[in-house]
Amino acid sequence: MAFSMFLRTSACRSSAFNQQMMCFATQSMAKERTIASTLPIKNLVIPRANSTPILNSVRSFRTSPPRLSAGKANDHSKLWVVEKITSAALIPLVPLGLLIPNKLFDSALAILITAHSFWGLEAIVVDYVRASIFGPVIPKIAIGLVYLVSIATLGGLFYLISHDIGLANTFRQLWAIKSDGNKA
C-alpha cells in the first residue's frame, strides 16, 4: 500500500524518474550495477546499444541447468503438439471407427486411445507422486505401473481386434445390451 502511494506522488511521475527507471530496466546484465554507473546524466539521455530489457532477462531465468541428452536439450513442446494432435485425431476417428468397423480403424483407435491414456496417467503420476513426498522408490514404481498398464491395455485391445469381433463391434454389443429392470 505504501509503495503504491509512493509511486503516485509527483516525484515518481516526472520524466527524469521515468528515464532513470528505464535505464535500470535496460541495463546490461553483464555489468555490475553500481550507483556511480547509474546516476550520471548521460545514462538518462543516451540509450545503450548493447542494453537488454529486463523482461528478456527474466524470460531466460532458470533455477537449474538444462539436462542434456546426447547433446540436445529436451524439447517438451514437440511432445505437447503430438499429444494435442492425438487428441484431435480421436474426435473424427471414434465415430468413423464405429460407423465403418474394420481392423485398420480399430488398430488406429487402440493405439491412439492407449497413447492418450498413457500420457494422461503419466502426467498424473509425475505431478502427484513426487520423490520429495514419497521417497525415491515409489515414484519409479508408479511410473513402472503406468507403463505396465499401458502395455497391457494395448495388448488386450490388439488381442480383441485380432482374435475376437473387434473394437467397434464390441462397443456396439455393449450398447445393445438392454437392462432387465422389469424382471427384478
In a domain, 163, yes or no: yes
Structural domain of 17: 10-59
In a domain, 183, yes or no: no
- Do both 112 and 140 map to the same domain? yes
pLDDT mean over 48-58: 52
Ligand-binding site membership of 159 (annotated): no
- Do both 164 and 96 map to the same domain? yes
- Do both 42 and 86 map to the same domain? no
Confidence of residue 70 (pLDDT cuts 50, 70, 90): low
Ligand-binding site membership of 116 (annotated): yes
- Do both 113 and 23 map to the same domain? no
pLDDT by residue (tens digit) across 138-176? 999 999 999 999 999 999 999 999 999 999 999 999 988
The reported pTM is: 0.57
Pair 19, 46: CB distance under 8 Å: no
- Do both 165 and 100 map to the same domain? yes
**For residue 43, what are the CA distances in angstroms to 32, 34, 40, 46, 154?**
15, 13, 6, 6, 65
Report, in angstroms and rounded to the nearest whole number, the Rg of the chain calculated over CA atoms.
Answer: 30
- Do both 48 and 94 map to the same domain? no
- Do both 35 and 80 map to the same domain? no
